[in-house]
Amino acid sequence: MVWHRRLHGPYGMEIRVTTASVTRADSGPSPRGHRNTKIALIYGSIGGPIFVALVLVQMAIVPWFDITRYPLSVGETWYLQKAAFLLAGLLTLIGAVGLRGAIRGTPAGRFGPFLIGAFGSYFSAPSAG
Which phi and psi angles does 106 have, rounded to 5°?
-100, 165
Look over the chain and give the mean of its residue pLDDT values, rounded to a whole number. 77
What is the arithmetic mean of pLDDT over 76-98?
88
More confident residue, 82 or 49: 49
- pLDDT score for 19: 60
**45 touches 94 (CB < 8 A):** no
- pLDDT score for 116: 93
- pLDDT score for 98: 92
- pLDDT score for 41: 92
- In this model, does residue 95 exceed pLDDT 90? yes
The SS3 assignment for 12 reads helix
Torsion from C-alpha of 128, 55, 71, 67, nearest 10 degrees: 170
The amino acid at residue 64 is W
- pLDDT score for 25: 45
CB under 8 Å to 86, separation ≥6 — which residues? 124, 127
Highest mean pLDDT: which range of 8-17, 45-54, 102-111: 45-54
